Chain A
Amino acid sequence: MPTINPDEVARLADLARIDLTQDETARLAAELDVIVAAVATVSEAVSGDVPATSHPLPLSNVFRDDVVGPTLDPEVVLAQAPAAAEGRFAVPQILGEDA
């Protein structure tokens, strides 16, 4: 049974793009260790040839006809953005400082 330590939480938080404080990291490590131990029983609950079900309904791609239809007003959408310029979303630089 793997244990969740603060280093693992920090790695996962980095993957999930969430900044955590040291206190949050320590607290989450303790909590997740308990939760993971509890949910790990799931692997013992199923054996043999049981297929996985990812969804209550069988899924298939759904395509609409490729016709022009109404769209959201760009001004209304951009009004809710953290920053906008020249009719577009304004975002921080995409590449890191070494780029």
Chain B
Amino acid sequence: MSDLITATAVELSAAMAAGETTSAEITRAHLDRIAAVDGDLHAYLHVNADEALAAAADVDARRAAGRELPELAGVPIAVKDSIVTENQVTTCGSRMLEGWVPPYDATVVAKLRAAGLPILGKTNMDEFAMGSSTEFSAFGPTRNPWDRDRIPGGSGGGSAAAVAAYAAPLALGSDTGGSIRQPASVTGTIGVKPTYGSVSRYGLIAMASSLDQVGPCSRTVTDAALLHDLIAGHDPRDSTSLPDAPHAYATAARAGANGDLSGVCVGIVRELAGAGYAPDVQARFEESVALMEDAGAHVVEVACPSFEAALAAYYLIMPSEASSNLAKFDGMRFGLRVEPAEGPVTAERVMAATRGAGFGPEVKRRIVLGTYALSAGYYDAYYGSAQRVRTLVQRDLDAAFGRVDVIVSPTNPTTAFRFGEKVDDPMAMYLNDIATIPANLAGVPALSLPNGRDSDGLPTGFQLIGPARGETNLYTYAAALEARLAGAWGGTPLLTHVPMNSMNPTNPMDPMNTEANR
């Protein structure tokens, strides 16, 4: 097989099964790719070359011995640094955990290892998953492969950029208010937030426990579905884990790839359009809706009036939960410990000094905001009201799904913005999540897929939202739209059009440095 780094996970799997290549070759090719581009991209915080190659050799040996293997066995993967990995540094993008080596694997990581996916490394992220741009990583930002002066989205910008730049065929992310889907949207990749509770959170460093969810990042819908099949399922170590339910997301995606949406009723959310949405984003969205109609879908408008308050509710609930979850970073049992410069060295003063030195500006901002929202006198007006808005969001979605099979919107109001553009304006940054947040508040699944480019050539994203446990249909519909979009683009995924700022302009073998891609 000639092109190991631009192939999809499905193609890599088939090539290994046919004996055309090995996991060792594929893994080495991706490690070489990381070495070539990541100095510029900074998608990875840690690269685990030796362990990845050992895992690849192990799966190759099992295949050679005739063992039956999962479909993704041997396909390498990148893991967001908010997900703990035994014997591999996990920092969550924070100085607070710099150098920390977890003593256990997250359940999703254990599943990857058991299925034989070599873990290439840990990807960059906004500190403790707080941000929409990966500018708040304590270890420096990740660049967007489409334009290195622009953000790759956040908080999972590292995972999305790694997949977009062919530095990993697959990645795991975590999504609290859009941190898988928004980076997918601005990097031209696929990102999925599963139904809350359907993928274990055991070993995910919690930001806001009622909102966080682990999910897949990929370059095609079927690749995402395959990875999702692998990580989903009940986990007795996660008390919020749903009981096991049969699922076959990859089968659903493959069924959808025929591009037929006959009989599907699609709802356009009235409140996720108009002012604030860039004209090109809106235009690409409307073109995609037209493609769904061409595929046989019936399109109607749905009203979700509570969505207008969802952003405010989210920015009360999320920091409130974060202020509680991050209390564990106190300099006592793991991570950083800083002693006060003056005065007595008591536990309380060490905690304050450690947290003052170890947390970055966005984390401090959200902890203080959460402390305010939960404090006496404000609790009912802020936190209590936010939780009631959450009820309204769930009711609006329930009513909508009584009429339609799937809800669609642009994933983000804009394409990737430039570094620094919103870093001093927190509300402008927070507004970027306006279309992704409702799914987290309600716990329903949502998927972003690339649906075109703006006038600057930057990717736009299209979001599909389904009812709880509705991933199967979501994958079918997304694959159908993906097939229609690929037809409109000339039969190739959007990422093969990555045209801008080749990541390695001196290398004529770079797949993003071909004549067709310039």
Interface of A toward B, CB cutoff 8 Å: 2, 4, 8-9, 12-20, 24, 28, 31-32, 34-36, 38-43, 45-46, 50-57, 59, 61-62, 64, 72-73, 76-77, 79-83, 89, 91-97
Name which of B133-141, B289-297, B309-317 contacts chain A: B309-317
Given A36-B369, A56-B443, A97-B344, CB of A42 within 8 Å of CB of B385: yes
Instruction: Confirm or deny: B442 has a beta carbon within 8 angstroms of a beta carbon on chain A.
Output: yes
Nearest CB on A from B434, distance (A): 12
B365 with A31: CB separation less than 8 A: yes
Instruction: Confirm or deny: B364 has a beta carbon within 8 angstroms of a beta carbon on chain A.
Output: yes
Given A43-B382, A45-B306, A96-B346, CB of A12 within 8 Å of CB of B368: yes
Q: Can you list, as one digit per residue, whether each of B436-478 has a CB less than 8 Å from chain A (1) or not (0)?
A: 0000011110000000000000000000000010000000000
Kindly identify which residue among A42, A57, A77 contacts B242, using a CB–CB cutoff of 8 Å: A57
Nearest CB on B from A54, distance (A): 6
Given A52-B391, A57-B443, CB of A39 within 8 Å of CB of B368: no
B372 with A17: CB separation less than 8 A: no
Given A76-B103, A80-B103, A94-B347, CB of A39 within 8 Å of CB of B382: yes
CB-nearest residue of chain A to B357? A19
Given A18-B368, A32-B372, A95-B346, CB of A52 within 8 Å of CB of B390: yes
| Contact partners of A81 in chain B: CB under 8 A | 332-334
CB-nearest residue of chain A to B381? A43
Instruction: Confirm or deny: B416 has a beta carbon within 8 angstroms of a beta carbon on chain A.
Output: no
Count: A-B pairs, CB below 8 Å: 181
| Contact partners of B371 in chain A: CB under 8 A | 12, 15-16
Instruction: Confirm or deny: B239 has a beta carbon within 8 angstroms of a beta carbon on chain A.
Output: yes
The docked-state distance in angstroms from the alpha carbon of A91 to that of B350 is 9
Residues facing A in B378-397 (CB within 8 A) are 378, 381-382, 384-392, 394
A42 with B313: CB separation less than 8 A: yes
A19 with B352: CB separation less than 8 A: yes
Interface CB pairs A-B, < 8 A, 20: A16-B323, A16-B368, A18-B352, A18-B359, A19-B352, A34-B427, A42-B386, A43-B381, A45-B306, A46-B309, A46-B392, A50-B392, A52-B390, A53-B394, A77-B103, A80-B100, A80-B102, A93-B344, A93-B345, A97-B346
Instruction: Confirm or deny: B33 has a beta carbon within 8 angstroms of a beta carbon on chain A.
Output: no
CB-nearest residue of chain A to B343? A97
A41 with B352: CB separation less than 8 A: no
Nearest CB on B from A46, distance (A): 4
A40 with B382: CB separation less than 8 A: yes
The docked-state distance in angstroms from the alpha carbon of A91 to that of B359 is 20
Nearest CB on B from A55, distance (A): 5
Nearest CB on B from A34, distance (A): 6
Nearest CB on A from B433, distance (A): 13
Contacts A42-B309, A42-B312, A53-B390 aside, 16 further interface pairs with beta carbons under 8 A come to A15-B375, A20-B356, A28-B368, A39-B382, A40-B382, A42-B386, A45-B389, A46-B309, A46-B392, A53-B391, A56-B394, A82-B332, A82-B337, A89-B332, A92-B347, A97-B346
